[in-house]
Structure 1
Amino acid sequence: MEIVVDAGDTTRTYEVVAGRAGRRVETAVRRGVVEVSEVTRNGTVVRTARFMANRVLALVEQPVPREDGSEKADRIGRPLGEVPES
């Protein structure tokens, strides 16, 4: 899931991915806050990214890649381009 946020004079794009097999990404909007969470099969929240709703420009859901699974980097809450190389 990509989240595009207004950062004043520019925009920032964040990406939240389900880091392991069987996990999913859920989105909720509550009290002016957009929450994007990685959730396990049994519903336990692993991690959550929160953004002010009035700053969120877009939420883009990406399809799951069906390759060898090598792109499973932990990228929650970090701007794209600032992900550590592994």
Structure 2
Amino acid sequence: MRGDRVEIVIDAGDTTRSYEVVATKAGRRVDVTIGRGVVVVAEVTRSGTPVRMARFMSSRVLALVEHPVAEAALAQEPSPPEPS
């Protein structure tokens, strides 16, 4: 859903770095896949086509936080004008 986001914090040697992947348009979502030593965070369309993708070595990932959009925030969004 639009507004979903995933925050990733990685160990970059002597410091940490923070990345964020956000679902930017309506109908898109953020998927997280973990396997074979790699964490993949991707923004995908309704049909499952990846729009943008971020890959991280799982041994370097310190935190992975999913922030789903709140239902109250969806209710406050203005609805598109109806055609007359």
| TM-score, normalising length: structure 2 | 0.74
Question: Is 1:23 the counterpart of 2:28 in the alignment?
Answer: yes
Count of matched residue pairs: 69
Larger strand proportion of the pair: 2
In 2: Cα distance, 1:5 partner to 1:50 partner? 11
In 2: Cα distance, 1:34 partner to 1:56 partner? 8
* Gap runs ≥5 in structure 2: 1-5, 79-84
- What is the aligned partner in structure 2 of residue 6 from structure 1? 11
Which runs of at least 4 in structure 1 moved beyond 6 Å after TM superposition? Answer: none
Greater CA radius of gyration, 1 or 2?
A: 2
* Gap runs ≥5 in structure 1: 70-86
Percent identity for Structure 1 against Structure 2: 67
| TM-score, normalising length: structure 1 | 0.73
